[in-house]
Amino acid sequence: MVIIDPLIELSRRVLWPPYTTLDDQQQREPLVIREAEGVWLIDNAGKRYLDANASWWSSSIGHRHPRLVSALKAQADCMPHCAMAGLIHEPAVKLAEELVRVAPKGLTRVFFSDDGSTAVETALKMAVQYWQQAGRPERTKFVTLSQAYHGDTTGAVSVGGVPVFRARYGALLFDVLYPPVSQGAWPEVFESLFKLIAQEKDQIAGVVIEPLIQGAAGMRMYSPELLGTLRECCTSADTFLIADEVFVGYGRTGKMWACDHAGVSPDILCTAKGFTGGMLPMSATLASERIYEGFSGGVDRMFVHGHTFYGNPLGAAVAREVLNIYREDNVLMQAQHNAERIRAGFQRYASHSLVRNIRSLGVCAAFELGEGGYAGKLGWQMFELARERGVYLRPLGDTVYVTPALNIAAQDLDFLLTTLHDCLCEISAS
């Protein structure tokens, strides 16, 4: 008789897990993770799994980084929380300064919130209110790409374009503008986007995009040139470019920001995930001085927005230490070395007949299995095989991808790449 971990049984009675069918909740056994260290997740039997997903793309410098743990403990001993209504504290103010210093030029103001979704909500509300106060109240629409993903709260879902994330909630969502050409090659899609912006500029509050990689849609990558032209296009329409760097920021693409590949600055930038090294839920929305100044004045012009945990000292202390580690350990350089290793490793998978559309950028690489698709089964077959071999490889349907910590050691990365190869051999043989 198979003995099921009591914690799994308990979870089946009380937990409602994210992005999990209830059939799977009752029938599949989740891993019971007890400990995390570096790129490794350790289950309650002591078995180690390489976290190829970096815990939903957030653990950018590995789990339980000793310096982040120390920063957290020191801050907890002093002041775990203090709401920033008429009060300020050093961790949040210094973090804002340090963030502005590494941000794309022109982003001078920092607004804190709790996660990627709320960072995006903040950006949307900022843009719409700015235009009201700038005498352009008709600018209320957002332009977004089909296949975009910006989070799971209602506004963030509204500006998303992945059908599975939207389908059930249509009644709650506001209208957005999509370029008419959504299928096909990226240059055509962007051409269609540029036309749309030029035509509809008078009603557009902003253009929201994931720079260079559409993550949740299945790691869909496009060129920095297209992002550069989009910047020019937004500038000539005098509307805002809102860069959702929640996934691609903090070195995921090999540079601090994906926007850096195109040498452009957005008007608003959202960051989360790697922002706290994936350790605490905290995020930031950065805005230009122009936008900030659009709110100058009294109560009739203030930004009517702010969460309880705005600037949370624990999150802020950890986020500051993340920036210190990035600088002192040259994490971006490590990312660039690992990027090259991953790119070369993934190229080798081209010999497997099931593998299609191999791509990589920075410490992120992906391919499709079989016909692909979010409801596909091969990705999950890969997941099971990898799990047996000690790799946690959560797929997006039949999109198999890796997004490990940027500073993953060469031998761990080689283990990951070899394991993928072995899994592919087994799937092809079956």
By CB under 6 A, tell whether 247 contacts ligand PLP.
yes
Choose among 395, 36, 27, 23: nearest CA to 216.
Answer: 395
Q: Which is nearer to ligand PLP, 117 or 158 (CB)?
A: 117
Is 210 near ligand PLP (CB under 6 A)? yes
Contact between 51 and ligand PLP per CB under 6 A = no
What are the start-end ranges of the E strands in 272-394? 283-288, 355-360, 365-369, 391-392
Distance CA 153, CA 128 (A): 17
Q: Which is nearer to ligand PLP, 150 or 352 (CB)?
A: 150
Told to judge if 377 belongs to the known catalytic residues of this protein, a careful annotator would answer no
Cα–Cα dist 404/134, whole Å: 43
Residue type, 282: M
Of residues 309 through 368, those in contact with ligand PLP by CB under 6 A are none
Query: Nearest 10 degrees: CA dihedral of 29, 34, 35, 36?
Result: 20
The catalytic residue among 51, 115, 244, 267 is 244
Provide the 3-class DSSP secondary structure of residue 169. Answer: helix
Which one, 63 or 150, has the nearer CB to ligand PLP? 150
Listed ranges 110-118, 175-183, 252-260, 373-381: which one lies at the site for ligand PLP (CB under 6 A): 110-118
Active-site residue flag, 149: yes
Residue 116 sits in the site that holds ligand PLP (CB under 6 A): yes
Cβ-closest position to ligand PLP:
116
Q: What angle do CA 15, 19, 23 make, to 5 degrees?
A: 65
Q: Which is nearer to ligand PLP, 51 or 244 (CB)?
A: 244
DSSP 45-65: TS-EEEETTHHHHT-TT-BT-
Q: Does 379 bind ligand PLP (CB under 6 A)?
A: no
Buried b (16+ CB within 10 A) or exposed e, 396-419: bbbbbbbbbbbbbeeebbebbbeb
CB nearer to ligand PLP: pick between 210 and 398: 210
Judged by CB under 6 A, the stretch of 149-157, 373-381, 398-406, 408-416 that binds ligand PLP is 149-157
* Cα 421 to Cα 352: distance, rounded to the nearest angstrom: 9
Say which residue the tokens 């936008």 belong to.
291
Q: Is 244 a catalytic residue?
A: yes
Of 84-92, 112-120, 129-137, 226-234, the segment contacting ligand PLP by CB under 6 A is: 112-120
Of 119 and 385, nearer to ligand PLP (C-beta) is: 119
Considering beta carbons, is residue 150 or 255 the nearer one to ligand PLP?
Answer: 150
- What's the min distance (Å) between Cβ of 157 and ligand PLP? 10
Order of strands, sheet of 33-37, starting from the edge strand that comes earlier in the sequence: 33-37, 40-43, 48-51, 391-392
Count of positions (residues) in the chain: 430
When asked if residue 398 is in the footprint of ligand PLP (CB under 6 A), the reply is: no
Give the integer Cα–Cα distance in Å for 282 and 112: 7
Of the candidate residues 149, 178, 190, 194, the single one contacting ligand PLP (CB under 6 A): 149
- For residue 151, state whether it binds ligand PLP (rule: CB under 6 A): yes
Q: What are phi and psi of 261, to 5 degrees?
A: -60, -30
Q: Of 51, 115, 130, 149, which is the active-site residue?
A: 149
Q: Determine the size of the site formed for ligand PLP (CB under 6 A).
A: 14
Q: How far is the CB of 230 from ligand PLP (least distance, A)?
A: 16
Q: What are the structure tokens assigned to 99, written together?
A: 């963030």
Cβ-contact 63, 51 below 8 angstroms: yes
Q: Is 273 a catalytic residue?
A: yes
- CB 17: neighbour CB atoms within 10 A? 12
Binding span for ligand PLP by CB under 6 A among 45-53, 116-124, 217-225, 415-423: 116-124
Among 246, 280, 286, 318, binds ligand PLP (CB under 6 A): 246
Site residues (CB under 6 A) for ligand PLP?
A: 115-117, 120, 149-151, 210, 215-216, 244, 246-247, 272
Active-site residues: which are they?
Answer: 19, 149, 244, 273
